[in-house]
Amino acid sequence: MSEHYIGLMSGTSLDGVDGVLVDLAGPGLQVIASASQSFEPAFRAELLALNTPADNELHRAALAGSTLAARYASVVGALLAQSAPLGIGANDIRAIGAHGQTVRHQPQRRSSLPDGLGYTLQLNNPALLAELTGIDVVADLRSRDVAAGGQGAPLVPAFHRRVFGRSDASVAVLNLGGISNLSVLPADPTAPVLGFDCGPGNALMDAWCQRHTGQDFDDAGAWAASGHCLPDLLASLLDDPYFSMPPPKSTGRDLFSLKWLQSKLQGFDHARSQDIQATLAELTCTPCIDCVNSYAKDSIELIVCGGGAFNQHLLRRLQAGLPKLEVCTSAAHGLVPLQVEAAAFAWLAHQTVNRLPGNLPSVTGAKGPRILGAIYPA
């Protein structure tokens, strides 16, 4: 019997919404339809601005959440249009997993809050999405893990284990979205899965590229490849305390922002913009390589997904830094890189609907497995 779910993801890259319609019946996963919708520049700029304190931000955040829900609904419509010839309609979808747009992520313990807990905040309007689509919506998937003392992120390692895990070898999965995160999947089923954010992924590279070339991203990493890494700048960037923190840990644009980068660029006023870009590419790769060597040294393969999987320069640098591993993209395992996170949130919706845990305490540091999210009935 089919188990149809939709997953929607708009990540820290702020490039738009990726959506998939999947069948989760059985141990595997079948992608039935996929669709994407880009954010227009003004909306992207508003989402970026809402990552930092601003005037009237509560009102603006509410409006942005509703706008995002409308974008989500448009992607859902595209998915249903693709699947209609197969006889799959809205009534056949058990739930939509809608992550929302993270604008604050500070799960670290804070003494001023009950039990010292932090928080995580995603813009969304799941009630509106349920109203527009006529489908149950599962949202706010991170907060329960944070309430249980966890980081609330990353949530994808449990899904990575399902689709990429092997019984004959240990593998690692690297998601290169706006932030980079690593999943370590041991061959031993009794060994804990690990997962954590390594540092910035595409966020700083994209922002620098937009500022100096007008392009949304560095296509295939060609601009970075034309420059030269600045060792002194790289050392200053890597001096941030986050990189030396042990897992569990997670981060976001709260830390790795353009403001953070500008503070590090003092004294490099005359550096070529392409050399800064080359250095930012190394800032992405170096922590990922260090994390693989520290926590996934037994892995035989590094599977890369997310938008960064299309950056050939990043892939070459990762392979050069990890010569003993095979570096490949998730496409080699049957799942297009831009579909992986959306599929993960479809799976997380499945877990919630079936009252099954979606987190891994070994990853987030939560007190135990938890059923994640809130359900908004159609």
pLDDT tens digits along 208-227: 999 999 998 999 999 999 99
Neighbours of 212 (CB within 10 A): 14
pLDDT at residue number 187: 96
Structure tokens at 184: 């370590």
Its pTM stands at 0.91
Residue 296 has pLDDT above 70, yes or no: yes
Percent of the chain with pLDDT over 90: 87
Closest of 228, 286, 283 to residue 260, by C-alpha: 283
Higher pLDDT, 27 or 240: 240
| Residues 165, 35, 152, 311, Cα dihedral to 10° | 70
The pLDDT score that the predictor gives to residue 13 is: 78
pLDDT at position 260: 95
| Two structure tokens written together for 174 | 């690297």
What crossing angle do the helices spanning 41-49 and 57-83 adopt, rounded to 10°? 130
Res. 301: pLDDT tops 90: yes
Render pLDDT for 22-55 as a digit per residue (tens, 0 to 9): 999 977 799 999 999 999 999 999 998 998 888 9
Largest CA distance in the chain: 63
**What's the average model confidence in pLDDT over 91-113?**
84
Residue 110 has pLDDT above 70, yes or no: no
The mean pLDDT value for 238-250 works out to: 94
- At 254 the pLDDT is 82
> What structural domains and CATH numbers belong to the chain?
4-152+339-376 (3.30.420.40), 157-337 (3.30.420.40)
Report the pLDDT value the prediction gives residue 11, as an integer from 0 to 100: 80
Predicted local confidence at residue 115, as pLDDT: 63
Q: What is the mean pLDDT of the chain?
A: 94
| Six-digit token string for 214 | 């007008």
Which two structure tokens, joined as six digits, stand for 289?
Answer: 């390589």
Q: Which of 14-18, 333-337, 369-373 has the lowest mean pLDDT?
A: 14-18
pLDDT tens digits for 156-204? 999 999 999 999 999 999 999 999 999 999 999 899 999 999 999 999 9
Determine the distance from the C-alpha atom of residue 297 to the mean position of all C-alpha atoms in its chain, rounded to a whole number. Answer: 23
CA dist., res. 124 & res. 61, Å (int)? 9
pLDDT at 105: 86
Q: How confident is the model at residue 116 (pLDDT cuts 50, 70, 90)?
A: low
Task: Tally Cβ neighbours within 10 Å of residue 113.
Answer: 10
Instruction: Give the other-Cβ count within 10 Å of 325's Cβ.
Output: 20
Name the pLDDT band for 314 (thresholds 50, 70, 90). very high
> Quick one: which of 183, 193, 139, 181 has its CA closest to 348?
139
Residue with token string 């980068």 = 261
- The structure tokens listed for 35 are 């669709």
Residue 230 pLDDT level (bands cut at 50, 70, 90): very high
Residues of the chain with pLDDT > 70, as a percent, come to: 98
Closest by Cα among 184, 187, 175, 286 to 229: 286
What pLDDT is stored for residue 114 in this prediction? 58
Give the closest residue to 152 by CA, choosing from 125, 112, 117, 113: 117
Give the residue-averaged pLDDT of 306-314.
97
In this predicted structure, the answer to whether residue 113 has a pLDDT above a threshold of 60 is no
H or E element, residue 327 = strand 326-329
- The pLDDT assigned to 295 comes to 97
- What is the number of alpha carbons within 13 Å of residue 178 lying toward its C-beta? 25
